[in-house]
Chain A
Amino acid sequence: MWLEKLHLTHFKNYEAGSYTFGERVNCLVGQNGSGKTNLLDAIYFLALTKSAFQNQDALTIQHEADFLVLDGIFRDGTRRTQITGSLQRGQRKVMMADKKAYDRLSDHIGRFPVVLIAPDDTDLVRDGSEERRRFFDGVLAQLTPAYLDDFLQYNKILSQRNSLLKIFAERNYLDEDMLETYNEPLIALAQRIYEHRRRFMEHFLPLVGRYYAYLSNERERVDLIYESEVARPDFPTEFRKHRSRDLHAQRTSKGIHKDDYVFEIDGRALRKFGSQGQQKSFVIALKLAQYELLALEKETQPILLLDDIFDKLDDLRIHKLIEMIDSGSLGQVFITDARPERSHRILDQVAADVRFFEIGKSYE
Chain B
Amino acid sequence: MNKTIGMIYDQIRPEERLLIDSARRKSLRLNLHDAERIHVDLFDLEKKEPFEDVILQRCVSYFRSLHLTASLEKRGVIVINSSRIASICGNKLLTTLELAKAKIPTPRARLAFSVESALDALSNLGYPAVLKPVIGSWGRLVAPLKDVESAKAILEDRENMFPLYQVYYIQEMIQRPPRDIRCFIIGDAVVAAIYRYSPKDDWRTNTARGGAC
Q: Do A and B come from one complex?
A: no
User: Which residues from chain B sit less than 8 Å from chain A, CB to CB?
Assistant: none
User: Which residues from chain A sit less than 8 Å from chain B, CB to CB?
Assistant: none
